[in-house]
Amino acid sequence: MQVVLDTNIIISAAISGKGNPAKIMKMVSEGKLQMCYNTEILSEYSDVLFREKFSLPIEKQNALIRKIIEMGTVTNAPISTATMTDESDRIFYDTAKDIGAVLITGNIKHYPVEDFIVTPAMFLATWDDKLC
């Protein structure tokens, strides 16, 4: 199953090895989920991971970016005309919609109401058993 992970999922998983975002990242690492991204998404992941306020060790930041590159699939999507609350979220929305992936986000209110956009809890409640 292809997924696009909003930056808040990556950050949450990096900060804490517990919780739903960490479970989702584990599923990516185990090959149960195919993480998809484009160069803009990867750039945002890097920019946010390296912010001082998160106090993540540089080794952890670099290892996570390497893991995303190694395990993920690069894709490019056309820009949509969907109404977005936060324009910076468009890259995640467009990528997921274009390839038919599930978009997992902790900020569901930033996106249009669509079946393919879910929170980590919604994702795990719906798909976790099907992927085991």
Where do the domains of the chain lie? 2-131
Match 């409640």 to its residue by tokens.
Answer: 125
pLDDT value at residue 127: 77
CATH architecture of 2-131: 3-Layer(aba) Sandwich (3.40)
Q: Is 80 exceeded by the pLDDT of residue 26?
A: yes
Q: By the 8 A CB rule, do 56 and 14 touch?
A: yes
Task: Tell how strand 2-5 and strand 102-104 pair up.
Answer: parallel
Cα–Cα dist 11/40, whole Å: 16
Q: What is the mean pLDDT of the chain?
A: 92
φ/ψ (deg, to 5) at 80: -90, 175
Q: Decide if 21 contacts 121 (C-beta within 8 A).
A: no
* Per-residue pLDDT at 131 exceeds 60: no
Return the structure tokens found at 46. 């890097």
Name beta bridge partners: 37. 74
Cβ(108)–Cβ(93) under 8 Å? no
What pLDDT, in 10s, does the model give residues 28-61?
999 999 999 999 999 999 999 989 898 888 998 9
At residue 125's C-alpha, the angle toward residues 43 and 22, to 5°, is 40
